[in-house]
Chains A and B, each alone.
Chain A
């Protein structure tokens, strides 16, 4: 079943370490979101391979926005 990676907090994506085909494990660092001038590391919620990435670095996201899907 495909899993979704969503933004856990609102802010701006300043680093995105995943692209389609990247294999991730739970706890891999996948991106950095900047909120209130503070950088927060986001970790992968599950194991798998990235299927599709919806956002790119520089995008503003709201909490719960879809970032990528995992196969």
Chain B
């Protein structure tokens, strides 16, 4: 009789709970709270938080290889590299490259911010992460969720959950993290610099850009092809003006669907046994450093460019080189207005901001080319 009761109890999850799981519940609930109450990237943090709760319920088997529902989402969506490129299709359909085309030299600011990625990669490796893990951690500094997930699934799947959550939570905190650095590294006079009115960009040029850049970037860094191809296809949908329905689908329906299938399995990679290790938790520290360094290198490059050019660039634009679109550009605009209420930087900041997306993808492609097994 007692034996029967005991085996019945054993089929429930209660006896299999570990303290780690309960800690993970708290983390999951905190993410859900931040998503709902503070609206920090709710579209992602909400499903991620729920995924964390699910995978830390014992015996559910949701992440059991070949069987579990969330495992299937993860394996066929992320491991097979389908979802991050589809997100890029949507981003492409959203993105107006006009500000970049109008002011092409700002493209270099999008590259400058990638230096933070490499610096952090270097630091992480020096601290004992293996070279592939270090590359994935550095990528957080690019402030691009899908790219971080993409490189992580290729190089360091064991860190995917932590890197994705770090990337998305720091992206949500851009308005808190960046302004103090920006104020520290620029003088008020620099922040007041007004940008020259950009040249007009024709419709035809905007249409040609996705095609030309696809050729160039994929020829140069073939490993970046899945992300760049989708980004530029989405952009061609947008600029061609003849496939409004496809553009709408990429931006809205498809984007929403893949967001669901992205967030849930990311949360599900965060099982207590994998996640609660000093090595994984320290990623959050390194990720923050990556983010700060990227902001700084962007600002520094803008100042460096000012030494050589007659038409001065407002150095704040360098901070928009991290690819958190459009949060970083908005932050630049706000800090610019603080210095001079007639300095409207938003459209100029969108240039380095979208260049940052391309720069991050290129950086990821190089890591994958050099390191992929």
- Name A38's closest neighbour in chain B (CB-CB): B330
Which of the listed residues B326, B329, B346 has the most CB atoms from chain A within 10 Å of its own CB? B346
CB contact list, B252-287 vs A, under 8 A:
none
On whether the beta carbons of B342 and A36 are closer than 8 Å, the reply is no
CB contact list, A16-61 vs B, under 8 A:
35-38, 40-41, 43
Q: A41-B341, A43-B341 are in contact. Are A36 and B197 (CB under 8 A)?
A: no
Distance in angstroms from A25 CB to nearest chain B CB is: 15
Q: A8-B342, A63-B197, A64-B197 are in contact. Are A40 and B347 (CB under 8 A)?
A: no
On whether the beta carbons of A38 and B346 are closer than 8 Å, the reply is yes
Please indicate the chain B residues that have their CB under 8 angstroms from the CB of A40 in the complex.
333, 337, 344, 346
On whether the beta carbons of A36 and B346 are closer than 8 Å, the reply is yes
Cα of A64 to Cα of B346 in the assembled complex, Å: 15
Please indicate the chain A residues that have their CB under 8 angstroms from the CB of B347 in the complex.
9-10, 35, 63
Cα of A37 to Cα of B333 in the assembled complex, Å: 12
Cα of A48 to Cα of B108 in the assembled complex, Å: 43
On whether the beta carbons of A38 and B342 are closer than 8 Å, the reply is no
Please indicate the chain B residues that have their CB under 8 angstroms from the CB of A35 in the complex.
346-347
Interface string of B322-336 (1 = CB under 8 A from A): 000010011001100
Distance in angstroms from B178 CB to nearest chain A CB is: 15
Interface of B is mostly: helix
CB of B350 closer than 8 Å to a CB of A = yes
Cα of A64 to Cα of B200 in the assembled complex, Å: 11
On whether the beta carbons of A36 and B341 are closer than 8 Å, the reply is no
Please indicate the chain A residues that have their CB under 8 angstroms from the CB of B346 in the complex.
9, 35-36, 38, 40
On whether the beta carbons of A36 and B337 are closer than 8 Å, the reply is no
Please indicate the chain A residues that have their CB under 8 angstroms from the CB of B329 in the complex.
36
Please indicate the chain A residues that have their CB under 8 angstroms from the CB of B330 in the complex.
36, 38
On whether the beta carbons of B326 and A9 are closer than 8 Å, the reply is no
On whether the beta carbons of A36 and B344 are closer than 8 Å, the reply is no
Please indicate the chain B residues that have their CB under 8 angstroms from the CB of A37 in the complex.
326
On whether the beta carbons of B197 and A38 are closer than 8 Å, the reply is no
On whether the beta carbons of A8 and B344 are closer than 8 Å, the reply is yes
Distance in angstroms from B66 CB to nearest chain A CB is: 43
Distance in angstroms from B201 CB to nearest chain A CB is: 12
Please indicate the chain B residues that have their CB under 8 angstroms from the CB of A64 in the complex.
197
CB contact list, B328-373 vs A, under 8 A:
329-330, 333-334, 337, 341-342, 344, 346-347, 350
- Name A29's closest neighbour in chain B (CB-CB): B341
Distance in angstroms from B148 CB to nearest chain A CB is: 23
Distance in angstroms from B367 CB to nearest chain A CB is: 30
- Name B337's closest neighbour in chain A (CB-CB): A40
Cα of A70 to Cα of B130 in the assembled complex, Å: 66
Please indicate the chain A residues that have their CB under 8 angstroms from the CB of B350 in the complex.
36
Distance in angstroms from A15 CB to nearest chain B CB is: 16
Cα of A36 to Cα of B342 in the assembled complex, Å: 17
- Name A40's closest neighbour in chain B (CB-CB): B344
Interface string of B48-72 (1 = CB under 8 A from A): 0000000000000000000000000
- Name B334's closest neighbour in chain A (CB-CB): A38
The residues of B with any CB-CB pair to A shorter than 8 Å are: 197, 326, 329-330, 333-334, 337, 341-342, 344, 346-347, 350
Beyond the given pairs A8-B344, A35-B346, A64-B197, 5 more chain A to chain B contacts, judged by CB atoms under 8 angstroms and listed by A's residue number, are A8-B342, A38-B330, A38-B346, A40-B346, A43-B341
**9 closest residue pairs by CB, A with B:** A9-B344, A36-B326, A8-B344, A38-B330, A35-B346, A36-B346, A9-B347, A9-B346, A36-B330
The residues of A with any CB-CB pair to B shorter than 8 Å are: 8-10, 35-38, 40-41, 43, 63-64
| CB pairs A–B below 8 angstroms (19 shown) | A8-B342, A8-B344, A9-B346, A9-B347, A35-B346, A36-B326, A36-B329, A36-B330, A36-B346, A36-B350, A37-B326, A38-B334, A40-B337, A40-B344, A40-B346, A41-B341, A43-B341, A63-B197, A64-B197
